[in-house]
Chain A
Amino acid sequence: MKKTWQTIVGAGAAIAMIASFAGCGSSSASGKTELTFFANNTQDVYKPVIDAFEKKNPDITIKFSTTNGAQAGYQQTLQTRISGGQLADVYVAPPEQLSDLVKNGVAKDLTDEPFMSRIGDTNKAQASVNGKVYAMSITAWTNAYAYNKDLLAKAGYDSIPETWDEFVDMLKALKDAGVEKPYLEPKAGLGALVEGWIGYDSSKQSKSIDQQIGDGDSTFAKSYTKYYKQWAKLFDAGVMGSEVTGLADDQVRSEFAAGRLAVMPSGYWDVNTFKDAGINFAFGRMPMLHKGDTPYAPGAADSGYAINAKIDGKKLEAAESFLDFLSSKEGLKLIQDNMGLIPSTKNYTPDIDATFKEPYDLYLKTGNVYLNTLGWPASGRSALRAETFAQLQQVALGSITPAQATANLNTKLKTLS
């Protein structure tokens, strides 16, 4: 009897352990269609959007899930969910993964959906594979230079100059005027404006420079060295030091918000932070290499919303209703207000904060934004992007030259292909 109990206790505990791993199954709310939604932003910012949708669609409930970490963490979790057969009904589809999602048959073709008529061509193009649209991208982002008006005024400036050399001269003037920190870039965003320069030069060619590198028609050494040399002028002129190799985004942002930093690369997502800080600021252009160059900035359409190709019936109808709501005026306004993203659809003109008007007109209205990673091979993009920052950090430290940095990027690319 004793032995029997021992066996039961042992086996029961083992089963309980195993069962606890399997306890992540799905459940459905009775009488309502439950739609699972996996997104790359926090629940608090999505809650108003989901609440408004559920109010309009009382027969649908949305079960929201997200993941910790930045974009790379989301992509990894999405991949794990797909491989484990746990993909949500609606999910955010990063452009870097779109071709893989389509290849694996987990993204529904949205090309002919009625709500897609609201989506702009630039957003559609970024969410397309072989001419078909697989994700509904409704917002876009661009970098811009945030500048402290009071600090710039000390050197006699009231806006960001048009060209890079003029910009470096302005930073020198700021330093001479007693501004201790004229300009800082975060360690994981070094050389941000280089993408703008490459974007402009790419616009004059049939294939983007990064696409040429990805296809093996060019190399980083051939195409990137001249841009990195220009960027390195910041160190040659002494207006930015090697301390940037140890500064995270938040630290640079804190310096700007505290009124100690004159200029930093930023975006619309920082508007409220800087307003709350009570500083006199605005967002301006990112200088181009030559006078007369069309302004370009790092940016792209945001990740779109995709529908799991394996759902059907009421779930599919609910998913389509959800995407329809997200692209409606009400949904777009909620997204802009709660997530700080800029809607870029045909049916809605966003109310842009006055401080961000210049970059909005220059880049988002015109579509003059460029993201280098989109041209690189899908497999290894995030590793290559991390490597660009690691190489630029070494340039900042003076341990390698821009030419060595681009040569090292070539080597890295070879190991990834």
Chain B
Amino acid sequence: MTQATTIAATPVLAEAGVVPARTETRSVQDFEASHTRDRKRRNLMENLTSVRFLLPLLAVYIIIVLIPFLQSIVFSLTDYDGYDFANAKFVGLSNYQAIFQDQTLLAGLGFTLLYTVATTVLITAIALPLAVTLNRKFFGRNFARSLFFFFSVPSMAVLGLVWQYIFSPLGTGAVNTFLGKFGVSPVPWLSDPALAKFCVIFIAVWAQVGWHATLYLAYLQAIPADLYEQASVDGATRGQQFVHITLPQMVPAMGVSIFMLLTGGLKVYDLPFTLTTGGPGNATYTVTQSIIVTGIGSGRYGVGSALGVMFFLCCVILVALQQIVTSLIEKRLS
């Protein structure tokens, strides 16, 4: 609008003899062009400065993620045995064909998806109300916050080893000993396929819910308090405040949390491996375990890499879908 007005006004000013028409037009255009150049240069310099500070992270990303991934793609097309790549032969897509003939892997894919969906849904459903509760003032609040966060401190591998005694199917297991006091017969926690799946998911939820509640808590504290005050004045109940204020404000946090749960769930390995070793049978076998046992652990880097590449692509698709859905929800609520 400003530019259009200036251009239109310039002949009028020239006709009035206030300014020479050509000179004025040129100087305004020059000023604007110079201003734009300056702004672009400033933006470029700012971007370059940012890039310089991103260099360390970029270097880590390239070394730890990008180069190994590209290597994996190359390995997946060969019969590389993990010793000397110079001896490897090109085998085309045969490693990819081998993957789909392995029943163990397909079983692993089923449980991995179940684990990912179940932990994502359950942790989100529990962590959000938990964060709201921990955000209120009550006696021992800091202790409660620390307690829930503490569950996520030990590694999943350690938790798996400890919980295998708690969920032992023998009568001497911790849970069965407790149940035995009420006359309940020993429950085959880790020796029944359905119960073993439940145990793995239960421990994962128990261990991670505090961490994700802490994440939500950080976002919750950034919501302006006057929104709740205004809502209270207008007579909104706590439930209405949660649905209409808290939940929409928490969408970005949910996006981050769900993203981490999805990626963590898809590559799960340590907990099921230490708790059940993938059993009973293949009930709690995971894709990552398959990559390690069937591929890398057996000196079949080609097959392991093909599995890794396929799995990476699946993860990218799933996470991209999640990002699109989150973005749509955010737009709708904003």
Residues from chain A with a CB closer than 8 A to the CB of B63 are 18, 21
- Asked whether, in the complex, the Cβ of A104 is within 8 Å of the Cβ of B84, the reply is yes
For A106, the closest partner residue in chain B by CB is B83
Q: How far is the CB of B292 from chain A (nearest CB, A)?
A: 8
- Asked whether, in the complex, the Cβ of B191 is within 8 Å of the Cβ of A246, the reply is yes
**CB within 8 Å of A: which B294-318 residues:** 294, 296-300
- Asked whether, in the complex, the Cβ of A383 is within 8 Å of the Cβ of B294, the reply is yes
Partner of A79, one of B83, B280, B292: B83
Contact A13-B280, Cβ < 8 Å, known A18-B63, A83-B84, A255-B172: no
Residues from chain A with a CB closer than 8 A to the CB of B83 are 79, 82-83, 100-101, 103-104, 106
- Asked whether, in the complex, the Cβ of A379 is within 8 Å of the Cβ of B281, the reply is no
Q: How far is the CB of B83 from chain A (nearest CB, A)?
A: 4
Mask, A368-410, CB within 8 Å of B = 1, is: 0000000000111111001101110110110100000000100
B24 contacts the other chain (CB 8 A): no
Size bin of chain B's contact surface:
35 or more
- Asked whether, in the complex, the Cβ of B281 is within 8 Å of the Cβ of A394, the reply is yes
Mask, B47-87, CB within 8 Å of A = 1, is: 00101110110111001000000000000000001111101
How far is A101 from B171 in the complex, measured between Cα atoms in Å? Answer: 47
- Asked whether, in the complex, the Cβ of B297 is within 8 Å of the Cβ of A76, the reply is yes
- Asked whether, in the complex, the Cβ of B281 is within 8 Å of the Cβ of A245, the reply is yes
A175 contacts the other chain (CB 8 A): no
How far is A3 from B101 in the complex, measured between Cα atoms in Å? Answer: 57
Q: How far is the CB of B36 from chain A (nearest CB, A)?
A: 22
Partner of A390, one of B49, B59, B282: B282
Q: Which of B84, B103, B189, B279 is the most central at the interface, judged by chain A CB atoms within 10 Å of its CB?
A: B279
Segment touching A, from B110-118, B127-135, B162-170, B217-225: B162-170
- Asked whether, in the complex, the Cβ of B299 is within 8 Å of the Cβ of A246, the reply is no
B287 contacts the other chain (CB 8 A): no
B236 contacts the other chain (CB 8 A): no
- Asked whether, in the complex, the Cβ of A17 is within 8 Å of the Cβ of B56, the reply is yes
- Asked whether, in the complex, the Cβ of B165 is within 8 Å of the Cβ of A382, the reply is no
- Asked whether, in the complex, the Cβ of A246 is within 8 Å of the Cβ of B279, the reply is yes
**CB within 8 Å of A: which B218-238 residues:** none
Count of CB-CB pairs between chains A and B under 8 Å: 158
Partner of A188, one of B82, B277, B299: B277
Q: How far is the CB of B76 from chain A (nearest CB, A)?
A: 16
- Asked whether, in the complex, the Cβ of B59 is within 8 Å of the Cβ of A18, the reply is yes
Residues from chain A with a CB closer than 8 A to the CB of B278 are 386, 390
How far is A416 from B165 in the complex, measured between Cα atoms in Å? Answer: 34
Residues from chain A with a CB closer than 8 A to the CB of B170 are 181, 243, 247, 251, 255
Contact A13-B56, Cβ < 8 Å, known A104-B87, A188-B277: yes
B276 contacts the other chain (CB 8 A): yes
How far is A179 from B285 in the complex, measured between Cα atoms in Å? Answer: 34
A149 contacts the other chain (CB 8 A): no
- Asked whether, in the complex, the Cβ of A7 is within 8 Å of the Cβ of B52, the reply is yes
Q: Which of A3, A251, A255 is the most central at the interface, judged by chain B CB atoms within 10 Å of its CB?
A: A251
For A411, the closest partner residue in chain B by CB is B103
- Asked whether, in the complex, the Cβ of B298 is within 8 Å of the Cβ of A6, the reply is no
- Asked whether, in the complex, the Cβ of B56 is within 8 Å of the Cβ of A187, the reply is no
A260 contacts the other chain (CB 8 A): yes
How far is A180 from B186 in the complex, measured between Cα atoms in Å? Answer: 13
Q: How far is the CB of B55 from chain A (nearest CB, A)?
A: 4
Residues from chain B with a CB closer than 8 A to the CB of A258 are 172
Partner of B165, one of A82, A103, A251: A251
- Asked whether, in the complex, the Cβ of B279 is within 8 Å of the Cβ of A14, the reply is no
Residues from chain A with a CB closer than 8 A to the CB of B11 are none
- Asked whether, in the complex, the Cβ of B191 is within 8 Å of the Cβ of A242, the reply is yes
How far is A412 from B101 in the complex, measured between Cα atoms in Å? Answer: 9
Q: How far is the CB of B44 from chain A (nearest CB, A)?
A: 12
Q: How far is the CB of A236 from chain B (nearest CB, A)?
A: 18
How far is A7 from B167 in the complex, measured between Cα atoms in Å? Answer: 55
A41 contacts the other chain (CB 8 A): no
Q: How far is the CB of B75 from chain A (nearest CB, A)?
A: 10
Partner of B102, one of A11, A103, A386, A415: A415
For A380, the closest partner residue in chain B by CB is B298
A225 contacts the other chain (CB 8 A): no
How far is A181 from B169 in the complex, measured between Cα atoms in Å? Answer: 13
Residues from chain B with a CB closer than 8 A to the CB of A18 are 59, 63
Residues from chain A with a CB closer than 8 A to the CB of B84 are 82-83, 104
For B45, the closest partner residue in chain A by CB is A3
Residues from chain A with a CB closer than 8 A to the CB of B102 are 412, 415
Contact A390-B281, Cβ < 8 Å, known A104-B84, A251-B168: yes
B188 contacts the other chain (CB 8 A): yes
B98 contacts the other chain (CB 8 A): yes
For A21, the closest partner residue in chain B by CB is B63
Contact A397-B172, Cβ < 8 Å, known A79-B299, A383-B293: no
Residues from chain B with a CB closer than 8 A to the CB of A6 are 49, 52-53
Residues from chain B with a CB closer than 8 A to the CB of A260 are 172
How far is A391 from B83 in the complex, measured between Cα atoms in Å? Answer: 31
Contact A382-B279, Cβ < 8 Å, known A6-B52, A246-B168: no
Q: Which of A3, A260, A378, A380 is the most central at the interface, judged by chain B CB atoms within 10 Å of its CB?
A: A380
How far is A391 from B103 in the complex, measured between Cα atoms in Å? Answer: 12
A72 contacts the other chain (CB 8 A): yes
A248 contacts the other chain (CB 8 A): yes
Mask, B135-174, CB within 8 Å of A = 1, is: 0000000000000000000000000000011011111100
A178 contacts the other chain (CB 8 A): no
Residues from chain A with a CB closer than 8 A to the CB of B277 are 187-188, 248
A159 contacts the other chain (CB 8 A): no
How far is A385 from B4 in the complex, measured between Cα atoms in Å? Answer: 79
Residues from chain B with a CB closer than 8 A to the CB of A246 are 164, 167-169, 188-192, 196, 276, 279-280
Mask, B10-47, CB within 8 Å of A = 1, is: 00000000000000000000000000000000000100
- Asked whether, in the complex, the Cβ of B60 is within 8 Å of the Cβ of A17, the reply is yes
> Can you show 12 pairs from A to B with CB atoms below 8 A apart?
A97-B299, A100-B83, A103-B83, A242-B191, A246-B167, A246-B196, A255-B172, A382-B297, A383-B294, A389-B279, A390-B281, A397-B191
Interface residues, chain A, CB within 8 Å of chain B?
3, 6-7, 9-11, 13-14, 16-18, 21, 72, 75-76, 79-80, 82-83, 97, 100-101, 103-104, 106, 180-181, 187-188, 242-248, 251, 255, 258, 260, 378-383, 386-387, 389-391, 393-394, 396-397, 399, 408, 411-412, 414-416
